[in-house]
Amino acid sequence: MLTAETAINPVINPSDTAPRRSVLSLKPGDYGVIAVAAVLIMVSACIVYGGRQDALIFTIKGRDGTWTFPVDAREIVRIPGPLGDTLVELRRGEARILSSPCANRSCIAAGSIHAGGQWIACLPNNVMVSVEGRAQGLDGAAW
């Protein structure tokens, strides 16, 4: 029961105020396990995020098939479509549509592509040009 005297002079147990030792104490083997785990984490990060870059290739798809070209190709490719032929130029690591029989020619206005994941399409003529391989750098930014 709490009285006025115990409230003013509470009895303090000396073991409650003594500094406590940590229950966790590391042994030499523990440091070895921590070191091995750190090395494994670094090696797995290098494997996942590092390594060689995938080679980039140009892929052109039309109604008659699919064509692939190395990124350093230099040629003009004629792709037949339902409206006529679409001309695709591959040069200096870039691809672009030179001419197309579509009405609005937005595929020509799109310009050239050069990084992995980029594409240009002429939907009315069923022609798609894309760069396949690992994308370089950021595509956009998020806030």
The residue ranges of every structural domain in the chain are 57-132
pLDDT at 108 over 90: yes
Tens digit of each residue's pLDDT (9 = 90 or more) over 76-105: 999 999 999 999 999 988 999 999 999 989
pLDDT at 6 over 80: no
**To which H or E segment does residue 30 belong?**
helix 28-49
pLDDT at 42 over 70: yes
Specify the CATH number for 57-132; select among 2.60.320.10, 3.20.20.80, 3.40.50.10540, 3.10.580.10.
2.60.320.10
pLDDT at 79: 93
Those residues whose C-beta lies under 8 Å from the C-beta of residue 131, and which sit 6 or more positions away, are 56, 57, 58, 59, 71, 95, 113, 114, 115, 116, 117, 118, 119
pLDDT at 68: 92
Tens digit of each residue's pLDDT (9 = 90 or more) over 50-66: 655 567 899 999 998 99
Cα–Cα distance between 10 and 135 in angstroms, integer? 71
